[in-house]
Structure 1
Amino acid sequence: MKPTRRPLKAVSSWLRRQPPKVKAFLAVVSGMVALVLLRAIVHDHDNLFVAAEAVHSIGILVLIYKLTKEKTCAGISLKSQELTAIFLAVRLYCSFVMEYDIHTVLDLATLATTLWVIYMIRFKLRSSYMEEKDDLALYYVLLPCAVLALVVHPSTSHLFANRIAWAFCVYLEAVSVLPQLRVMQNTKIVEPFTAHYVFALGVARFLSCAHWVLQVLDSRGHLLVALGYGLWPPMVLISEIVQTFILADFCYYYVKSSLGGQLLMHLPSGVV
């Protein structure tokens, strides 16, 4: 008698057989269901943004564990860490000159740990750094964000330079993970601690995106008006959504590998 397949394995096999359009539709539906659940469970949706920053910090702690215990930085993108440090530093500056709150403290802690990771990769564990795989030039990321910030930025009463800086860190955060995805694309195999870190980034991005979407829904669109006028309000939401979808495919394969008991992730071509 043929044994019955496990439900999760059967669902995973069914998903793999579906065309890209069906997978994209299911991903959108899953995201909407998750938003509805979060809206029902979490009463103060500002806590979602705090949770997003906390999950990001947990991801950084996973990297610290890898660097200190395994004495290797193989598979980690130094350029992604540098981009993360840049947008966190700019966001900290904006927080100090615009609005100082709990997010400022969380960003400061995350920046400190990110700078420590950069130091370890650059100096202590340089021999294990996969520089040839970390081949995405930073100007491909920094220049478009800077130009976009000059064109589309907040219309608030703050100084012009501060408004540009605010927009720049929003756009840079949305794409700061691209060098890390490039490294994984080049290697095709992702070791556990790096996979945990990138998955934490994916969860953090989703929580941050959920925070903004639910805040807009709760305020019946008034939040967008508070952010200013023109293209800036929708660009904030678009940036959050872009961050989420950049990592969505990776998170799917991470969950799939975890359910299958695999220690190493083998990424199919075109995933990242």
Structure 2
Amino acid sequence: MGTDRRAKNPVQAFVWWVKKQPPKVKALLGTLAGIVALIFLRLVVDDHDNLFVAAEAIHAVGIAVLIYKLMKEKTCAGLSLKSQELTAIFLATRLYCSVVMEYDIHTILDLCTFATTGWVIYMMRFKLRATLMNDLDNLKLYYVLLPCLALAALVHPSTSHNLVNRILWAFCVYLEAVSVLPQLRVMQNTKVVEPFTAHYVFALGIARFLSCAHWVLQVIDGNSFLLTVLGTGLWPVAVLLSEIVQTFILADFCYYYVKSLVEGQMMVRLPSGIV
């Protein structure tokens, strides 16, 4: 019966086939899917800066899903408070840099996202504290913050801005790339991810991919924006690598999220070793 159903549903049949492939083949298929998506975005999106705006908007949608979860279910089980705190830190840093260095539509979007993230932190830390999973949310913050700060001091923009501002700008870029790690640790510890948390993390994955696509397409098109705003040297390369890293960090989860949807499952079940 199961084989007959897969045969009648091409999507399920493809997911079933991918599931049987070894990790290297899955990685290759994922890379090819990313390349195809990049080609598609390049063809249909005229202004690639809109991809970055879309990424920030989708991040905001993900946080709205969290707010709905907290208000409806009155629990923060399955969520990482540390990931939310890291998100607030990089957003606050990026807001400061945006105000003193550029100030545009991204500043307004970041302000809205920062405010809603602050509300989520308030609810988790004070109103729903009894439902926190502190024993599972066990990734030390300084394991993330200190390496990002050290890397920012070494590799940062070579623009004419104040040195401290340039280091802070680099710090928020690096921190954004790895801010989801505590959330992934919580999900790895629980093995089963409830729907609202899964929707939120999947939204992050889509947002990170669009942000990465924005920078990659800027490079492919030879846009002078990278040279005039980001400067020269290692910094543009570091930005691209940060975007790629944060995309790949969430790629595994996004695969299992889509697989669960195709199979009609509400919960996302993760195998060992995904994080």
TM-score (norm 1): 0.97
Alignment match, 1:27: 30
Alignment match, 2:213: 210
Alignment match, 2:53: 50
The answer (yes or no) to whether the contact 2:218–2:226 under 8 Å persists in 1 is no
Amino acid at match of 2:157: P
Alignment match, 2:184: 181
Rounded Cα–Cα distance in structure 1 between residues aligned with 2:110 and 2:225? 23
Q: How many aligned residue pairs are there?
A: 271
Picking from 260, 266, 269, the partner of 2:269 is: 266
- How is 1:39-188 mapped onto 2 (pairs within 5 angstroms)? 39-188=42-191
The answer (yes or no) to whether the contact 1:83–1:172 under 8 Å persists in 2 is yes
Q: Secondary structure at the match of 1:132?
A: coil
Q: Secondary structure at the match of 2:4?
A: coil
Alignment match, 2:224: 222
Amino acid at match of 1:208: S
Rounded Cα–Cα distance in structure 1 between residues aligned with 2:269 and 2:19? 15
Runs of 5+ in structure 1 lacking a partner?
A: none
Q: Secondary structure at the match of 2:13?
A: helix
In the TM superposition, residue 225 of structure 1 has moved relative to its aligned partner by 2.6
Rounded Cα–Cα distance in structure 2 between residues aligned with 1:25 and 1:48? 24
Amino acid at match of 1:222: S
C-alpha root-mean-square deviation of aligned residues, in Å? Answer: 1.2
Runs of 5+ in structure 2 lacking a partner?
A: none
TM-score (norm 2): 0.96
Rounded Cα–Cα distance in structure 2 between residues aligned with 1:240 and 1:117? 25
In the TM superposition, residue 217 of structure 1 has moved relative to its aligned partner by 1.6
Runs of 4+ in structure 1 off by over 3 angstroms are: 1-4, 221-224
Identity of aligned residues (%): 73
